[in-house]
């Protein structure tokens, strides 16, 4: 049987570049080489696309771009389904079957790369252009989730150059403590917990560093839960996980080092509540038009209310990432998950 050639896109010019390298190694390690031939294409922090012909160890340590690399680009010609490789002797074409963007954050998870693939007519692993763009925008994803009947935090959006007096007034209406976060960044970059009015302006400035739009949001009591979902029409849902925090919030350090926090899979909640959480996550997934896979994060309050937090259309794929952990608890290995999401992209 001919192996399908899958472009594994990694790196990217976002603040989550290093996290993408870890996820790419997870995908490559789980890829069934009897069914799929990886074509590894790295995107540097500056945005240069390079076909990388070396092993995953140099991706893991971040030195891949200094290895066996040559400039490359996806052909935009619809129907060609080709990676253009700019060799010394001329341009070579590698016909590919799908593109798997293992990218996090801006310029990769936000619909930009997805739009390029859809323009070129190349099957795309994961969510399409619109769902990816909506998923990265916390304000607009909240609005759609609310229309789908899922509760969302009270919040308001702001932009660079906003009236700080108005921000203070509206924040006072939400009440303290509250959260200020970039409207379109992941991995908790730029997120601040604001306990008092005197901390608000610095938190706003920090959030606006990431894309120029921010969200000021009420603090939801309780704890965070997550739901891993795969599928286009029929959905496969992993076990609900739970984040236990000793202090503070689930910031970048806690997400990737788990210094004081713990992740429980399955979550320590009643089965009926877990089913309710899964239904809410599915409603958000459908409302945003997701396909392939995504992780939906929500809050569970002490009163048992379910509140939507955010959706990750390209969640982490490392051995310790939440998405694989939830699917593993549901009986699926990372290799099975990777194969399934690829088949969802290439199936008729």
Please list the active-site residues: 16, 187, 321
Is residue 4 annotated as involved in ligand binding? no
Is residue 139 annotated as involved in ligand binding? no
Is residue 155 annotated as involved in ligand binding? no
Distance CA 136, CA 342 (A): 22
Is residue 107 annotated as involved in ligand binding? no
Is residue 179 annotated as involved in ligand binding? yes
Is residue 312 annotated as involved in ligand binding? yes
Is residue 297 annotated as involved in ligand binding? yes
Distance CA 24, CA 94 (A): 20
Is residue 181 annotated as involved in ligand binding? yes
Q: Please give the order of strands across the beta sheet that includes 90-95.
A: 90-95, 82-87, 69-74, 49-52, 36-43, 4-11, 98-101
Is residue 187 annotated as involved in ligand binding? yes
Q: Which tokens hold the place of 40?
A: 């590894």
Helix axes 164-174, 200-208, angle to 10 degrees: 110
Is residue 8 annotated as involved in ligand binding? no
With tokens 């970048």, the residue in question is 252
User: 96 Cβ partners below 8 Å, 6+ apart?
Assistant: 5, 6, 7, 39, 81, 82, 83, 122
Distance CA 179, CA 169 (A): 15
For the chain, give the number of residues. 348
Is residue 309 annotated as involved in ligand binding? yes
User: 338 Cβ partners below 8 Å, 6+ apart?
Assistant: 27, 30, 31, 32, 317
Is residue 180 annotated as involved in ligand binding? yes
Is residue 222 annotated as involved in ligand binding? yes
Is residue 217 annotated as involved in ligand binding? yes
CA torsion through residues 320, 321, 327, 333, sign: negative
Binding site membership for ATP: which residues? 138, 179-181, 187-188, 217-224, 309-310
Binding site membership: which residues? 138, 179-181, 187-188, 217-224, 297, 309-310, 312
Binding site membership for Mg(2+): which residues? 297, 310, 312
């Amino acid at each position: 049987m001919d192996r399908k050639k899958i472009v594994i896109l990694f790196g990217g010019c976002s603040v989550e570049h290093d996290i993408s390298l870890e996820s790419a190694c997870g995908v490559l390690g789980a890829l069934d080489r009897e069914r799929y031939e990886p074509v590894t294409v790295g995107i540097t922090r500056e945005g240069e696309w390079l076909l990388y012909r070396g092993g995953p160890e140099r991706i893991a340590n971040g030195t891949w771009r200094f290895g066996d690399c040559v400039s490359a680009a996806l052909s935009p010609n619809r129907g060609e389904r080709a990676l253009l490789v700019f060799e010394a002797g001329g341009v070579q074409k590698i016909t590919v079957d799908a593109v798997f963007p293992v990218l996090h954050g801006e310029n990769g998870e936000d619909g930009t790369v997805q739009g390029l693939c859809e323009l070129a007519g190349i099957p795309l692993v994961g969510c399409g252009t619109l769902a990816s763009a909506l998923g990265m925008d916390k304000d607009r994803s909240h609005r759609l989730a609310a229309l789908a009947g899922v509760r969302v935090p009270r919040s308001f959006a702001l932009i660079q150059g906003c009236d700080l007096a108005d921000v203070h007034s509206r924040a006072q209406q939400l009440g303290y403590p509250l959260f200020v976060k970039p409207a379109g960044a992941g991995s908790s970059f730029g997120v601040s917990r604001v306990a008092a009015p005197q901390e608000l302006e610095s938190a706003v400035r920090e959030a606006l560093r990431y894309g120029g739009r921010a969200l000021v949001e009420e603090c939801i009591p309780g704890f965070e839960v997550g739901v891993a979902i795969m599928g286009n029409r029929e959905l496969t849902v992993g076990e609900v996980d739970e984040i236990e925090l000793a202090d503070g919030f689930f910031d970048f350090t806690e997400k990737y080092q788990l210094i004081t926090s713990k992740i429980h899979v399955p979550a320590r909640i009643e089965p009926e509540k877990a089913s309710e959480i899964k239904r809410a996550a599915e409603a958000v997934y459908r409302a945003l038009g997701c396909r392939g896979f995504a992780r939906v994060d929500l809050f569970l309050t002490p009163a048992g209310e379910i509140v939507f937090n955010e959706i990750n259309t390209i969640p982490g794929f490392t051995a310790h990432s939440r998405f694989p952990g939830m699917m593993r608890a549901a009986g699926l290995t990372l290799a099975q998950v990777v194969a399934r999401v690829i088949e969802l992209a290439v199936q008729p």
